[in-house]
Amino acid sequence: MSLSEITARIRAEELRSGRVPGCVNLIAVSKVQPLARVTAVLNEGHRLFGENRVQEAAGKWPALRKAYDGVQVHLLGPLQSNKLRQAMELFEAFHSVDRPKLAQGIARLAQELGHCPDLFLQVNTGEEPQKAGVLPAQADGFIAECRALDLPVVGLMCIPPADEEPTLHFALLRKIAARNDVAGLSMGMSDDFEKAIAMGATHVRVGSAIFGARAYD
Ligand SMILES: *Cc1c(COP(=O)(O)O)cnc(C)c1O
């Protein structure tokens, strides 16, 4: 796979599912990838990337932002309170806001710094104990809580259970977003981004299908 193939498949699925052409944002998930693969995708003109860890992003993106105009990096992975200040400076968006304490910390720092990343609230649609995200039954309350803190809630995010049909989870996330007037839906990865687009994804997070398999050491 490559960036151009994935982009073509996204455009084709937008057409097939009656979505507005170009409405789906492709987040190229560059975590753990060798720098040469990341610069290759930058050189093809892509500018929106996703990372899982604050530390890894801090070692990579400040230099790349100097070399390439218009780069945007979204944090997809878990957010710890002790890394929050650094994360506020590194990312244009957080996709894993999942608890009131964290939301309160973001609000406090946003006041102090005068800016705030766009926020996606993570929903644990499969109610998996090991997974981050608020439970579906708590989502409405959490969205209201974040809004009461004046936080920029732009969307919801989910990672469906590995062994279940993702479409059911995408549909649940869409339903929660619709009843709360939340516009953005961050859902769909390498194996299921077309299904996510059919269910209304506005942001798909695609890693290995663009960059190749991740080599963890
Ligand atoms: C790694 C990761 C992705 C990308 O996964 P692929 O299967 O490589 O496309 C998407 N979202 C999150 C939250 C991730 O951690």
pLDDT value at position 184? 98
Spatial separation of the C-alpha atoms in residues 139 and 47, rounded to whole Å: 31
- Residue 191 is part of a domain; what is its CATH number? 3.20.20.10
β-pair partners for 27: 205
Summarize pLDDT for 181-196 with one digit per residue, the tens. 999 999 999 999 999 9
pLDDT of residue 1: 66
Domains of the chain: total:
1
Chain segment 69-91, per-residue pLDDT in tens = 999 999 999 999 999 999 999 99
Report if residue 217 sits inside a domain: no
User: Which atom of ligand 1 sits closest to the CA of residue 211?
Assistant: 8
How remote is the CA of residue 31 from the centroid of ligand 1, in Å? 9
The CB of 206 under 6 Å from ligand 1? The reply is yes
β-strand 184-186 against 93-97: which pairing, if any?
A: unpaired
**Ligand 1 centroid to 205 CA: how many Å?**
6
Question: Domain range spanning residue 112?
Answer: 3-211
Q: Is residue 94 part of a domain?
A: yes
* Residue 125 contacts residue 160 (beta carbons within 8 Å): yes
Region 94-98: mean pLDDT is 98
215 pLDDT band (50/70/90 cuts)?
confident
Neighbours of 140 (CB within 10 A): 13
Ligand 1 contact via 190 beta carbon (within 6 Å): yes
Within a domain: 216: no
Q: Are 14 and 21 in contact (CB under 8 A)?
A: yes
pLDDT at 217 over 60: no
C-alpha closest to that of 198 among 165, 167, 160, 176:
167
Q: Per-residue pLDDT tens for 98-132?
A: 999 999 999 999 999 999 999 999 999 999 999 99
pLDDT at 45: 98
Q: Is 131 in the pocket of ligand 1 (CB under 6 A)?
A: no
* Residues 6 or more apart whose Cβ sits within 8 Å of residue 188: 166, 170, 194, 195, 196, 197, 201, 204, 205, 206
- Provide the pLDDT confidence category of residue 214 given band limits of 50, 70 and 90: confident
Q: Tokens standing for 154? A: 């732009």
Average pLDDT score over the chain: 97
Does residue 34 lie within any of the structural domains?
yes
Nearest-atom index, ligand 1, CA of 214: 8
pLDDT in tens, 12-49: 999 999 999 999 999 999 999 999 999 999 999 999 99
CB-side exposure of 14: number of CA atoms within 13 Å? 17
